Amino acid sequence: MAIFGRRRKTEKEAGVGDRHSSDDTLQDETAFYKKPTGLRIFTVLIYLIAVVFLILVEIGNINQNAVIRDTYFLRINLANVVPETIPNAVLINTIAQSLGLHDFYQVGLWNYCAGYTNQGITYCSPPKALYWFNPVEIIMSELLVGATIALPTDITDILNIVHVASNWMWACFLVGTCLSFLCMILAPMGFSKKPRWSHKAKRIFTRQLPLTILTFLALLFTAVGAVVATVMFVIFKNTFSGAAEFNIEAKLGPEMLAFEWIAVGMTLIGFIMQIGTCCGVCCCTGKRKAIRKRQSAIEEKK
């Protein structure tokens, strides 16, 4: 009888120990979700950064204000359009400017601006939705009657592709900006203050899944806009720079490239965090259920 009583007592003590161990495990697993304030603030910050840089992309080159005038996709320099091998090239270039040509043309998301080296920007076209940059039309329209200038033939061959790609780029950046703003407001809701794991399916399909889709779309549209812009204007640059006989210089805008790719990086971080949160809900819920079953089995043996 003494041995039997001692065995029951040992089993009871073991059950109490298992219960305490389970409680400690639950506390460790849910501690991450009990205090999500820091994660929420971090999520707001990364999407705020993304929205700010996307807005800079949107308003780049629309006027002559500081920062905005230096934010452009591509800048074409025609100041030395006549080859320097021709005698009196400086005088000829001055005559070329008098025919109506500006020294440089730079393009943004909504319009283009033009100006002179010693004066800066002197003209910006009105912003236009679904704007696309057509250098041939712009340059030819500014020449006085009877004046002509030769441009690389490759430029005219890719204008149709540029038109379509520019429309996609314009739409993607606009949608990406709007979705990133929504993510800044809604994405922090993915981190709950209370670990209500018993309603896993409801939480996944009513909160985590929609937020995951939202953050993915923000990343998708922002990344597509950045890729299309980078590829298209790199092709533009190479086409102008490759025609050495025309002495046309072209360069990409480093500020615009930096702004758009920083925005892509921020939306990528936000999407990865949301994926991690969604996976945490699924994984931790299974662990909690297993611990609850083990607790129930221990209590039944008492």
pLDDT band at 102 (very low <50, low <70, confident <90, very high): confident
pLDDT at 9 (0 to 100): 47
Nearest to 53 by CA among 272, 230, 209, 256: 256
Q: Model confidence over 56-100: pLDDT tens digits?
A: 999 999 998 888 999 999 999 887 766 555 566 566 665 556 667
Nearest to 57 by CA among 263, 256, 230, 219: 256
Q: Model confidence over 210-251: pLDDT tens digits?
A: 888 999 999 999 999 999 999 999 998 988 876 666 678 889
Q: Which two tokens stand for residue 82?
A: 């006549």
**Mean pLDDT across the stretch 180-198?**
73
pLDDT band at 264 (very low <50, low <70, confident <90, very high): very high
Q: Please name every residue paired with 124 in a beta bridge, in sequence order, or none if there are none.
A: 113
**Using CA atoms, how far apart are residues 17 and 290, in angstroms rounded to an integer?**
17
User: Angle 2-34/254-301 helices, nearest 10 degrees?
Assistant: 160
- Beta 249-252 vs 120-124: how paired, if at all? unpaired
Q: Model confidence over 160-176: pLDDT tens digits?
A: 889 999 999 999 999 99
**Mean pLDDT across the stretch 90-119?**
80
**Using CA atoms, how far apart are residues 271 and 263, in angstroms rounded to an integer?**
12
What one-letter code names the amino acid at 291?
I
**Using CA atoms, how far apart are residues 139 and 156, in angstroms rounded to an integer?**
13
Is residue 146 predicted with pLDDT exceeding 70? no
pLDDT at 99 (0 to 100): 65
Supply the mean pLDDT for the chain.
77
Please name each of the domains of the chain with its CATH number.
Answer: 36-301 (1.20.140.150)
